[in-house]
Amino acid sequence: MRTGRRAAVAERSSRLEVRLVRRGFSDPDAAVRLLAGPGLGGPGLDGLAEDPVLLDALGGTADPDLALLGLARLLEALDGPERQTLRDTLTSSKPLRDRLLSVLGASAALGDHLARHPRDWHALVTFELRDVHPAREDFQHVLRQRVRAADAPPADALRAAYRRCLLAIAARDLSGTADLPQTGAELADLAGATLQTALEIAEEEDPEAAGQCRLAVIGMGKCGGRELNYVSDVDVIFVAEARDGVEEHRALQSATRLAARLMRLCSDTTGEGTIWPVDANLRPEGRNGPLVRTLASHLAYYQRWAKTWEFQALLKARPVAGDTELGAAYAEATAPLVWQAAERENFVADVQQMRRRVVDAIPATELDRQLKLGPGGLRDVEFAVQLLQLVHGRTDPGVHSPNTLQALDQLSAGGYVGRADAASLDAAYRFLRAMEHRIQLHRLRRTHLMPTDPADLRRLARSLAPQINDDTNADAVAALQREWRRHAVEVRRLHEKLFYRPLLDAVAELPAGATGLSPTAAKARLEALGYADPAAALRHLTALASGVSRKAAIQRTLLPVLLGWFADSADPDAGLLNFRQVSDALGRTPWYLRLLRDESAAAEQLARVLSAGRLAPDLLLRAPEAVAMLGDPNGLAPRGRPALEAEVLAAVGRAGSAAAGVAAARSVRRRELFRTAAADVLGRFGDDPGEAVDAAGEALTALNAATLQGALRACTAEWEAANGELPTRLAVIAMGRFGGREMGYGSDADVLFVHEPRLGALEHDAAKAAQTVVHQLRTLLGAPSTEPPLLVDADLRPEGRQGPLVRTLASYEAYYRRWSHVWEAQALLRAEPVAGDAELGERFRALIDPLRYPGGGVPEKDLLEIRRIKARIEAERLPRGADPTTHTKIGRGGLADVEWTVQLLQLLHGHRVPALRTTRTRAALAAAEAAGLLAAEDAAVLDAAWVLASRVRGAVMLVRGRPGDSFPADARELAGVARYLGYGSGHTGELVDDYRRTTRRARSVVERLFYG
């Protein structure tokens, strides 16, 4: 019998052990003993082993073993009725269960506190506070009440009450009720309440001193910024004034006694442990200066003797305890000094040097483990944010927050930090602070080092599992390490970008010579940076930076960093020349240099655009005010056809003639071409090459369609002003890449013109009027001008150049019914109404659908004809001397190869596969793959070739400023094309090899699918 009972118990223990292992317990044997054995498990945990909800909750903690042990100790410490109350609440209340177990699983120190003060678990139910997120007054109430009611000495009572409040804060933090900023604010508010309570204890102990002085406690550092850690020195400054009738020196002696007692009450270690050290070393003269000064003494010191770092520290000063009126007076008096600090000589260099000293002081053995002081750590974020605040806060009160994350948000909103950079810093700072909090919570010890013990790492990783997207025991530690390193690298990159940029010296108005370049130094640097013509570059620099004007002073501070950005391009000389030309055109415009000075993102974008090729700079130089787009976070976003068309038609409506109206439409087009080109150069169309090509093509197509619509309206209005209502309705049908919404920067607008006489109008008169309007439209859009032309090509019309420019819908119908060739049906696959009368355009679409999607497919003789035409084009139209392996349009595996193959599939199967009825090449290719008309691998090969050829073609236009279907022969131009396509300097050969490899594979597919 006993043997059987023992076997049953052993079997149950074994099953329990398996369940515990699955839930993340590291020591299931010890857990089984606690849950099922004598001792602690008897009175406290008996029966809980069979509660799957509780076991799951334990398994969800950072350290299930620690959580179970802490729960067992807590239950054992309670008397019978109280123990049962806790057990009942644990099983019935998920909020309590989550709060209590998350604390026990993350903090051995708070588990020890609950074992000593077991009834403090009630704080997790009621929080003893008015709100879920308490204020300073709530903490103050709890601390006062418990200190006064306790039988223990005040210091012990204060520690126990502090830990009770800390327990509630940690529970909200660990259970997800409070986020990082809220937790930091609560910890700072609790610190302020603790300081206030300690001061009240000191005053009760020394009433004579309290009657002689007014004492205010100024929180500094993270306490002042309401972003405190769980365990941190609380930095303070003491300021005092004598009460009426008391001599100042006696008042200061009394205030010093109170301040010293306050510090000991918080810092000393008693039977209840310690709270945290109170550090007053940020006071004037540091530890060598008097602990307490009057307000006048503080101000005298700051005005005469203070160093730069002391003003940086004052940025976070905030009254936290003591005399509120005196504290407010201190804050009001010192704030102006903070925001004048950036005017001090060598201000930026001083702050930078201080940061370097901090890093140099880190022991080598700790450098790679430092979350706070190491490279890429918390201090990098804090120093960068504070420096930017001190520089820009002189003129912008909107960046004065002492809280790091709030200040970062303010700097981003003010344009001083790019939004993407701010978001990256925000995410990294939150993650690093969360790590720091979890590490400190375990033992409530002040540390900023990444642990090395595997158990500590495992607990830390599990506590941060939601933030590292990995809650598996096996991978959590590795995921934590990867996430930490990723954030650290990003912080360091952004720190160096923001902290050391010479633009800050300009904003701080340091002497010009601090960043000016002597001719010799400039030439040496230009040569080192890769400028091909340093002498010419030096002339540009001299023209930009010489003189004593404010414009020249700002240029002297901008140029060093701009030169570096230009040097990072394929053609630094062109970038500098273009910058000089833009600056000459806009230098007297107030906002231009201010934009570049205050917004480094805009300056960097301008540098990249000006040095990326000729097209965007040429467009910009015709209207330099478009630089303002670069300062707008959404300034380079495509506007879409409705917005473009509305603007163009409004401009046309204000014009007094067709010529003026078309000129206005072309002006809008030129500006929008720059917007699109700049967005393309800067990678704003996305990281995926195919999506980027589609986005650029869509933007250019919408722009050209809006321009055509405006030009048609202008020419029609002028005709009607002279002759009355136009006797016909006109529609413009886009063809080729225009119809496919795949236009490039140098694409002509291939179109067909269709008209239909109005009721009662003579066909001859209608045709003549349509001819006149269309001819004028083409002439005005292509006429020589300061605006780039839009060449309207109608050669794809019936009978080509020999046929009438405009036909009626009935004429098109008759022609296509009797005379059309298969190549015309193929061309119509890209036809789409784009301007003019929408209803007429849709009727044209309905007319041609049976032709381009023939019901029975394409006859064999027509297939043969298509293949013959394609072969003849390859043989006859390739330019003399062109390399067929690198010609993007007609070359092997190029655009024509892919497009003709796709179009053949559309002709053959479009009548039965609706998804093939699209004018877009990539969409049709995807539809063909989905319908099983070609293998996925073949579709991927063709798509890759088409995208790459399109990108090369676009890059050639962006770099050279004129169309080209082959790689440039000029080395610098080829380097520019390579840079646009993501290849680094010196990798042009790799680009050409990759292109040939990609198109060779595509040609193989084309020969199999197209030629059969």
Residue labelled with tokens 């019935």: 92
The span from the CA of 890 to the CA of 899, in Å, is: 11
* Contact yes or no for 168/132 (Cβ under 8 A): no
Query: Beta strand pairing status for 806-808 and 234-242?
Result: unpaired
The span from the CA of 151 to the CA of 462, in Å, is: 40
| % of the chain residues with pLDDT over 70 | 89
- pLDDT tens readout for residues 49-98: 778 888 889 988 999 999 999 999 999 999 888 888 888 888 888 888 98
- pLDDT tens readout for residues 646-667: 999 999 999 989 999 999 999 9
Q: So what's the pLDDT on residue 195?
A: 97
Which of 318, 107, 315, 115 has its CA nearest to residue 230?
107
- Give the lowest-confidence range in 362-366, 463-467, 814-818: 362-366
* Contact yes or no for 816/848 (Cβ under 8 A): yes
Q: So what's the pLDDT on residue 358?
A: 67
pLDDT at 767 over 80: yes
Q: So what's the pLDDT on residue 43?
A: 52
The span from the CA of 351 to the CA of 357, in Å, is: 10
Over residues 439-461, the mean pLDDT reads: 88
**pLDDT band for position 1 (cuts 50, 70, 90):** very low
The CA distances from residue 323 to 225, 319, 355, 372, 779, in Å, are: 19, 9, 34, 33, 81
The CA distances from residue 133 to 100, 110, 114, 169, 938, in Å, are: 17, 20, 22, 9, 59
Q: So what's the pLDDT on residue 522?
A: 47
Which of 953, 982, 676 has its CA nearest to residue 685?
676
Classify the C-alpha dihedral 401-406-408-409 as positive or negative: negative
- pLDDT tens readout for residues 287-296: 999 999 999 9
**pLDDT band for position 234 (cuts 50, 70, 90):** very high
Q: So what's the pLDDT on residue 129?
A: 45
- Phi/psi at 273 (nearest 5 deg)? 85, -150
Q: What is the three-class DSSP state of 587?
A: coil
Q: So what's the pLDDT on residue 157?
A: 94
| % of the chain residues with pLDDT over 90 | 52
Alpha carbon 269 to its chain centroid, in Å, reads 46
The span from the CA of 305 to the CA of 326, in Å, is: 23
The span from the CA of 517 to the CA of 551, in Å, is: 16
Over residues 168-172, the mean pLDDT reads: 93
* DSSP letter assigned to residue 882: -
Q: So what's the pLDDT on residue 253?
A: 96
pLDDT at 797 over 50: yes
pLDDT at 4 over 70: no
pLDDT at 10 over 60: no
Q: So what's the pLDDT on residue 353?
A: 65
pLDDT at 540 over 60: yes
SS3 content of the chain, % helix, strand, coil (to 5): 65, 5, 30
Over residues 41-51, the mean pLDDT reads: 65
Which of 158, 165, 161, 163 has its CA nearest to residue 126?
165
The span from the CA of 920 to the CA of 925, in Å, is: 9
* Contact yes or no for 161/153 (Cβ under 8 A): no
- pLDDT tens readout for residues 485-525: 888 888 877 765 565 343 333 333 333 333 333 455 445 44
- pLDDT tens readout for residues 13-36: 667 788 888 888 888 888 888 887
- Phi/psi at 671 (nearest 5 deg)? -60, -40
pLDDT at 921 over 80: yes
The span from the CA of 591 to the CA of 625, in Å, is: 10
How does DSSP assign 653-710, residue by residue?
A: HH-SSHHHHHHHHHHHHHHHHHHHHHHHHTTTT-SSHHHHHHHHHHHHHHHHHHHHHH
Q: So what's the pLDDT on residue 352?
A: 60
* Contact yes or no for 283/301 (Cβ under 8 A): no
The number of C-alpha atoms within 13 Å of 285 and in the hemisphere containing its C-beta is 12
Mean pLDDT (the chain) is 86
How does DSSP assign 17-54, residue by residue?
A: HHHHHHTT-S-HHHHHHHHHSSGGGTTTTTTGGG-HHH
Q: So what's the pLDDT on residue 536?
A: 87
> For helices 64-77 and 108-116, what crossing angle results, to 10°?
10
Q: So what's the pLDDT on residue 355?
A: 63
Model confidence, pTM: 0.55
* Contact yes or no for 1002/994 (Cβ under 8 A): no
pLDDT at 131 over 50: no
How many other C-beta atoms lie within 10 A of the C-beta of residue 23?
Answer: 19
Q: So what's the pLDDT on residue 247?
A: 95
- Give the lowest-confidence range in 124-138, 442-456, 677-691: 124-138
Q: So what's the pLDDT on residue 516?
A: 33
Q: What is the three-class DSSP state of 415?
A: coil
- pLDDT tens readout for residues 721-745: 999 999 999 999 999 999 999 999 9
The CA distances from residue 517 to 105, 149, 201, 269, 557, in Å, are: 60, 71, 62, 58, 10
Query: Beta strand pairing status for 728-734 and 832-836?
Result: antiparallel
732: β partners? 753, 835
**pLDDT band for position 185 (cuts 50, 70, 90):** very high
